[in-house]
Structure 1
Amino acid sequence: MATKLLLITFAICRLIVTVGLTVDPTELLRLVVDGQLSVDPSDVDTASKDFGLMSRAEPLAVLHPGSAQDVARLVRAAYSSAHGFTVSARGHGHSINGQAQTNNGVVIEMSGGGSSGRVMSRLRSGSGRVSEKDVLRSTLEYGLAPKSWTDYLYLSVGGTLSNAGISGQAFNHGPQISSVDELDVVTGRGELLTCSEEKNSELFHAVLGGLGQFGIITRARIALEPAPQRVRWIRVLYSNFSAFTKDQEFLISLHGQPSTHKFDYVEGFVIVDEGLINNWRSSFFSPSNPVKITSINSQGEIEGLLKKLDFVPTSVFTTDLPYVDFLDRVHKAEMKLRSKGLWDVPHPWLNLFVPNQGFLTSTRGCSRVFWAIRQAGPSSFTP
């Protein structure tokens, strides 16, 4: 089947334009925009916080853009301002250390609002400020979905592309940035440019996975493929961490094999001193190796693959569920935390690229990992 393409607009997580003296808010309010430039205390307070409630920086104003041109206008104003001020684009506040915020500058609020658009022929066209969940909901109306997802869908598309977009499907399709065909980007000078492999390619490759350092993405065209309707989720338990990582590496080594000889999704979780597999963390971070199966229909083929793995015998847990429910499993655990009031306290979320050889396979490395898990809660291992 021909590859489908997704066209959608969004913002990346950070852009520092220029640093200098703070600017008077009344000067900012003279900027003509299609959306709204707000100094309302509630808007400022929301933009002051990050996702994990670990960092706080109060901006002078918040831009709710009505168009990509609004983003370009603000950046041009900052670039040409005699005083100079900082600009940060904020999706849902996920950043390494508060980079989606800016003290005494302007935050571009890219979460909420906007339309996720429609599919026309091979293109999916949409407006700005959409989340991964918005994309999923609208593409499934046409039986399509992007090739690769993050595990948490309540992120801006631009935020995930600025950080590559890693998940348990990356070994099959590459990270999310591997499926991007074209971008519109607002540069540090306030230029709105279209870029791709063929046009402005240096900017194209710099922005993808560039942590927001090279511009603000306002549109992207992303490849789609036919979406499965249901998922078979298999979880198996390990008592030996070396066997666990060895099996993960074996499963991802099958990426070049026919679809009937591999799993579509491989991800591992480690929980120390936990109780039943169905406790509050099970739908978020299960002590298992969940595997999403969409193309393997024969039970014999599944058993053949499982026989090659070194998990604890008789510890196979299998669940059949809708595709959307599997992709949204992390959010369900978030709802459990919210119901206990645990989402309104600081909850850092740290992603690291860690080499397996010489660290996770060593006794000292494993001890450090397990100590961190015991202190900080559930942890995910994506091979």
Structure 2
Amino acid sequence: MEMQGEPRHAGMLAGFPAVAGSLDAAPEAPATAAEDFGHLISRRPLAVLRPGSAHDVAAAVRWAARHRMPLAARGQGHSVYGRAQVEGGLVVDMSSLGAVRAVEPDRVVVDAGATWQSVLDATLPHRLTPPVLTDYLGLSVGGTISAGGIGGMTFRRGFQSCNVIELEVVTGSGDLVTCSTMRHPELFDAVRAGLGQFGIITRAVLPLVPAPEQIRLHTLTYRDAPTMTADQRRLLTMDGIDYLEGAIRPHSSGWQHVIEVAVGLPGDGGVPAGLSDDQAQAESADMSYLDLFRRLSQLENQLRSTGAWRHPHPWLNSFLPDSTTDAVIVELLRTLDPLELGEYGRILVYPFLPAHARTPLLRLPEDDVAFLVNLVRFPKNDPSLANDLVEANRVVYDRVRAAGGRSYPVSAVALTQADWKDHFGPAWPAVLDAKDRFDPRHLLSPGQEMFPPR
């Protein structure tokens, strides 16, 4: 084992097992792992493990279990509220396990720390793609499968956690287990959208589907949110559409409502008929399939160049039933100051069909149609404002629950165990059982604040 730096508390790391990777207790490593993309919560770990293999992860978890030390896996550090942090414990930096192992005609084998960008870079030369991609490809495979993973193809193909063939997982007891719908299905169902509570995903086998080389992206503009969502419902049932999203953005006139629809080429590539958008403002652009998903990388580069990438990000993510979506959005727009979102902020509005979701712990509204509604904020760099917006998130969260909605629990909002119990609803007994079975000492992912340590 390579030990980097001088541990702050060397005695606490005594007897740490030999690993192929490295254990870093130098001050800068725990300091880096104490922060995330949200820059709202800071919890400093004792040390950071960069594993060289899944066996390193298993050995570290077994050691942590013996010493009752909390442990959290960290992918690309894109959490917004300390979910992958751990005070005084061990952070496992999964980015060191980032290889794409094999691309086959119908699947790809990938380490959990790999980004979706690296997966796509490996599969597109074969004209193949994972069925669902997130808008931002800099997220890790293990991280989004652990949360759910949603994007512009979810309306047709479900979530990323629903599109998994097999997983390799280290449980909270330190066992290295391969699981699927046929092998250890209880673990497979627990770790997908399990928020890191029951095991650490170390490798994934993902399905692949044909990828179009070129797509035509239509941007449609609407006068208000109900007109926009009405057309999104129509588009859900139309054939020939490969990608469907929507957003409400701050505008000089107040708010701008847009839908993005992509269709694969060759084909007529036209806008579906019978929609209610402002046709004079409609825009269309042809681009490669890869460029469709690189658009946020351009925004990232711009934000990094100005330093805004490191500002607080008090984001809120939620799922709303079709029956109450319009009312909640209209109320949000009535009470929300566009300045709170910032120059680059927006409200994302994606329709999808809950019936396509095949992930038991992914809690969704009960309507036949549901909407993702996300407050993506890039406010000015003011910690006081950021804290105020986190408090405002709680008000919106409660409004969503009252409207029959669910949290997409990757948000900047503090949740109590009572909140988690309400979130999982009838699945809560299964959550309790899985925690006791797969993480009996309750050591994994304490940043979720779902379970007290034992």
Q: Does TM, normalized by the shorter one, top 0.5? A: yes
Q: TM-score, normalization: structure 2?
A: 0.70
Instruction: Provide closer, same or farther for how the CA distance between residues 151 and 227 of structure 1 changes in structure 2, counting only shifts above 3 A.
Output: same
Aligned counterpart, 1:343: 309
2:55 to 69, 72, 87: 69
Aligned counterpart, 2:188: 204
Q: Which has the higher helix share?
A: 2
Q: Residue 116 of structure 1 contacts residue 128 of structure 1 at CA under 8 Å; is this kept in 2?
A: no
Aligned counterpart, 1:139: 123
1:290 to 253, 257, 260: 260
Please identify, of 91-100 and 132-141, the stretch whose mean Cα deviation from structure 2 is larger.
91-100
1:30 to 9, 15, 18: 15
C-alpha distance in 1 between matches for 2:70 and 2:110: 28
TM alignment of 1:1-383, pairs within 5 A? 24-28=9-13, 30-31=15-16, 32-81=18-67, 84-95=68-79, 97-112=81-96, 114-120=98-104, 122-254=106-238, 261-274=239-252, 287-294=257-264, 297-298=267-268, 302-303=270-271, 305=272, 307-358=273-324, 360-362=325-327, 365-369=329-333, 371-372=335-336, 374=338, 375-376=340-341, 377-383=345-351
Structure 2 counterpart of 1:222, which letter?
L
Please identify, of 33-42 and 115-124, the stretch whose mean Cα deviation from structure 2 is larger.
115-124
Q: How far is 1:114 from its partner?
A: 3.5
Instruction: List gaps (5 residues or longer) in structure 1.
Output: 1-22, 255-260, 278-285
Q: Residue 223 of structure 2 contacts residue 257 of structure 2 at CA under 8 Å; is this kept in 1?
A: no
C-alpha distance in 1 between matches for 2:257 and 2:225: 12
Structure 2 counterpart of 1:62, which letter?
V
C-alpha distance in 1 between matches for 2:13 and 2:189: 32
Q: How far is 1:373 from its partner?
A: 6.4
Name the SS of the counterpart of 1:154 in structure 2: coil
Q: How far is 1:121 from its partner?
A: 5.5
Q: Residue 52 of structure 2 contacts residue 96 of structure 2 at CA under 8 Å; is this kept in 1?
A: no
Structure 2 counterpart of 1:249, which letter?
R
Aligned length: 339
Structure 2 counterpart of 1:312, which letter?
D
C-alpha distance in 2 between matches for 1:128 and 1:166: 17
Runs of 4 or more consecutive aligned structure 1 residues displaced over 4 Å after TM superposition: 120-123
Name the SS of the counterpart of 2:23 in structure 1: strand
Cα deviations by residue, 1:100-159 (Å, 9 ceiling, x for unpaired): 000000000112563223324654334452111111111112221101111111111011
C-alpha distance in 1 between matches for 2:295 and 2:277: 23
CA RMSD of aligned residues (A): 2.3
Instruction: Provide closer, same or farther for how the CA distance between residues 313 and 292 of structure 1 changes in structure 2, counting only shifts above 3 A.
Output: closer
C-alpha distance in 1 between matches for 2:293 and 2:54: 29
Instruction: Provide closer, same or farther for how the CA distance between residues 370 and 133 of structure 1 changes in structure 2, counting only shifts above 3 A.
Output: farther
C-alpha distance in 1 between matches for 2:347 and 2:229: 14
C-alpha distance in 1 between matches for 2:232 and 2:246: 8
C-alpha distance in 1 between matches for 2:300 and 2:323: 33
Name the SS of the counterpart of 1:292 in structure 2: strand
Structure 2 counterpart of 1:110, which letter?
M
Q: TM-score, normalization: structure 1?
A: 0.83
Instruction: List gaps (5 residues or longer) in structure 2.
Output: 1-7, 352-454
Aligned counterpart, 1:258: none
Q: How far is 1:24 from its partner?
A: 4.4
Structure 2 counterpart of 1:164, which letter?
G
Instruction: Provide closer, same or farther for how the CA distance between residues 312 and 102 of structure 1 changes in structure 2, counting only shifts above 3 A.
Output: same
Q: Residue 272 of structure 1 contacts residue 370 of structure 1 at CA under 8 Å; is this kept in 2?
A: no
Report the identity percentage: 38
Q: How far is 1:344 from its partner?
A: 2.1
Aligned counterpart, 2:385: none
